[in-house]
Amino acid sequence: MAEHSDADRPVSTARMVAMLYGSRIRSQATFRTSFLADLLGQVLIVGTEFLELWVILSQVQTLGGMTLPQVAVVYGLGALAFGIGDMFFGEIDGLSAQIRSGRLETLLIRPVPLLLQISSLDLSLRRLGRIAVGLAMYVTALGIAGFSPTPATLLLAVLAPLAGALLFGALFTLAGAMQFWLVDGREFANAFTYGGNYVATTPGAVFALPMRAFFTFVIPATLIAYAPTLALLDLPGPALVPTWAGWLGLPAAVLAWVIALMLWRAGVRRYTGAGG
């Protein structure tokens, strides 16, 4: 009887999360060569993206009022945050294919939260490439750019990538939730997720005021890396993005998640299935 009651006991959430993610990690590490090629590809993409900024800064002294090491801090921090967010929630916008084919039912009938299933199903370890490059660049560039640590700025330095990752996660979830209405609008969502990444990894002062306002108050991309970099290096900010805005990443992330989860729930409720 003891065995029986043990099997009947519901699995704890923590154990379930560990099992789901663990199985995905094992399956991806199985094909080593393919995994390494993917990883290298990611590193190369990050490299060429940064080369764009590097080439520009080899022609002019500053971009948006920032020197090369300062831009590298913005880029590294943005890449790190996007890498983490993308690893956990990056494939969520692929939901449109599942909605159209009606395959979502399979996931809905399982006794595991839908968001957790999609997140773990599509966990892609190759994104570790971006995370590693971003982290290395962030730390190195901070050193070169003359970061003087105080307890407060050290805390911000650690908090900023995590808040940024949370923000990107919320953006991806929002993008996924939008698919319940748009169905075939995957690319529409890319403007905010990948576009957000592009903006986040760029010094925010380059944008004209209306764009800066949009990417600060509507899609808070400048709060992910640019504003924290201003606060970390004690630089003056442009209009709309003052130095103290560097601390707003976390509150913005919480707010974005509240909206994302509300929209997600509404979306799942709306889903009626397309298959038979």
Single residue of 187, 209, 259, 265 touching other proteins by CB under 8 A: 187
Single residue of 190, 235, 263, 274 touching other proteins by CB under 8 A: 190
The smaller minimum CB distance to other proteins, of residues 49 and 86, is found at: 49
Residue range at the interface with other proteins (CB under 8 A); choices 13-21, 53-61, 164-172, 228-236 = 53-61
72 vs 104: CA distance, rounded Å = 41
User: Which tokens belong to 249?
Assistant: 């990443």
16 vs 116: CA distance, rounded Å = 10
Residue range at the interface with other proteins (CB under 8 A); choices 84-92, 177-185, 243-251, 259-267 = 177-185
**The three-state (H, E, C) secondary structure of the chain, written as one string:** CHHHHHHHCCCCHHHHHHHHHHHHHHHHHHCHHHHHHHHHHHHHHHHHHHHHHHHHHHHCCCECCECHHHHHHHHHHHHHHHHHHHHHHHHHHHHHHHHHHCCHHHHHCCCCCHHHHHHHHCCCHHHHHHHHHHHHHHHHHHHHCCCCCCHHHHHHHHHHHHHHHHHHHHHHHHHHHHHHHHCCCHHHHHHHHHHHHHHHCCCHHHCCHHHHHHHHHHCCHHHCCHHHHHHHHCCCCCCCCCHHHHHHHHHHHHHHHHHHHHHHHHHHHHCCCCCC
> Could you give the count of Cα atoms lying within 13 Å of 91 in the half-sphere of its Cβ?
16
Question: Is 28 a binder of other proteins (CB under 8 A)?
Answer: no
Q: Which amino acid is at 121?
A: L
CB of 46 to other proteins, least distance (A): 9
Single residue of 2, 7, 14, 208 touching other proteins by CB under 8 A: 208
CB of 5 to other proteins, least distance (A): 46
Residue range at the interface with other proteins (CB under 8 A); choices 97-105, 187-195, 240-248, 250-258 = 187-195
Single residue of 2, 60, 109, 239 touching other proteins by CB under 8 A: 60
How many residues bind other proteins (CB under 8 A)? The answer is 43
Q: Give residue for tokens 């370890």.
A: 125
Single residue of 13, 23, 34, 67 touching other proteins by CB under 8 A: 34
Question: Is 29 a binder of other proteins (CB under 8 A)?
Answer: no
Q: Let me know: does 223 contact 249? Beta carbons within 8 Å.
A: yes
Residues 211-230 that bind other proteins (CB under 8 A): 211
The smaller minimum CB distance to other proteins, of residues 52 and 234, is found at: 52
Site string for other proteins, 147-176 (x = CB under 8 A): ------------------------------
CB of 12 to other proteins, least distance (A): 36
Q: Let me know: does 264 contact 178? Beta carbons within 8 Å.
A: no
The smaller minimum CB distance to other proteins, of residues 194 and 257, is found at: 194
Question: Is 199 a binder of other proteins (CB under 8 A)?
Answer: yes
Site of interaction with other proteins (CB under 8 A): 31, 34, 37-38, 40-42, 44-45, 47-49, 51-52, 55-56, 58-64, 182-191, 195, 198-199, 202-203, 205-208, 211
